[in-house]
Structure 1
Amino acid sequence: MGLFDGLMGNATEANHKEITKQLADVLIPDEHVDLAFKLVRDLVVFTDYRLIIVDKQGITGKKVTYKSIPYKSISRFSVETSGHFDLDAELKIWISSGVEPAELLQFRKDKNITQIQKALAAAVLS
């Protein structure tokens, strides 16, 4: 996938070493990146302890929000794949007993939504 796919909302798998270096100030000692996906400037990162969602904001991307969701806090999640007319695939994540999803990630025609769902299931259900 190239830049056009990123602009259209498709996530691409990111290099673990690059992401580990980029998140050096966020990761705790002995925390390792297991899986990472890049969406233009944003990231969805699976470590051995938590899910980290990196949201770069503004024109320069200098302002960054790091959302950290420990796997033990995730009570449920759902994946909706894209269809013929609805091109968005969605991942919804609920925390504890929340009624509304704490996080909603959207992807367009993305084959990686299945891989992301598997990684989340492995982390939450183990």
Structure 2
Amino acid sequence: MGLFDGLIGNASEVSITKLQEELKELLISGETIENAYKVIRDTFIFTNKRLILIDKQGVTGKKTEYHSIPYKNIVHFSVETAGTFDLDAELKIWVSGSAVPIQKNFNKATNIYQVQSVLAGYVL
């Protein structure tokens, strides 16, 4: 169901060890990846310092945008669990200075409570 989840835009968990090596030039000294989720080509990363959104662009995906959000700039957030017929869970994050939340969908296999707990641990 991983391919199907990716096609409909749901995220799934990815290997932290692999990402830590891939992003070593982007991470600052002492920064480690805590959790990471992937939606097709894009990645949603929680580090011990910030939230990083990686947006692969173009046909080949070689052009990449790295969007860093310090946890102190997150105003509030919400989670919505998956239901019986609704197959995805949602995470919405409101960032200071923006009226529109950042929204990510997660597949039913992803523990949305764990995602919320990681974010709450840094924001609260």
Report the TM-score range of the alignment, normalised by the length of the smaller protein.
Answer: 0.7 to 0.9
Q: 1:74 to 1:97 in 2, by over 3 A?
A: same
Other-structure match for 1:117: 116
Other-structure match for 1:58: 58
Relative to the length of structure 2, the TM-score reads: 0.83
Q: Does 1:70 align with 2:66?
A: no
- Return the letter of the residue paired with 2:120: A
1:21-57: CA deviation from partner (whole Å, max 9, x where unpaired):
2212211111111111122221111111001111112
1:82-103: CA deviation from partner (whole Å, max 9, x where unpaired):
33454443211112364332x1
1:59-78: CA deviation from partner (whole Å, max 9, x where unpaired):
21111111111111111001
> Bigger shift: 4-13 or 71-80?
4-13
Q: 1:75 to 1:6 in 2, by over 3 A?
A: same
> Bigger shift: 49-58 or 36-45?
36-45
Whether the 8 Å contact between 1:75 and 1:97 is mirrored in structure 2 is no
Provide the C-alpha distance between the structure 2 equivalents of 1:104 and 1:26, rounded to a whole number of angstroms: 23
Relative to the length of structure 1, the TM-score reads: 0.82
- Return the letter of the residue paired with 2:22: Q
- Return the letter of the residue paired with 1:105: K
Count of residue correspondences:
124
Structure 1: stretches of 5+ with no match in the other structure: none
Other-structure match for 2:103: 104
Give secondary structure in 2 for the equivalent of 1:120. helix
Whether the 8 Å contact between 2:42 and 2:55 is mirrored in structure 1 is yes
Give secondary structure in 2 for the equivalent of 1:77. strand
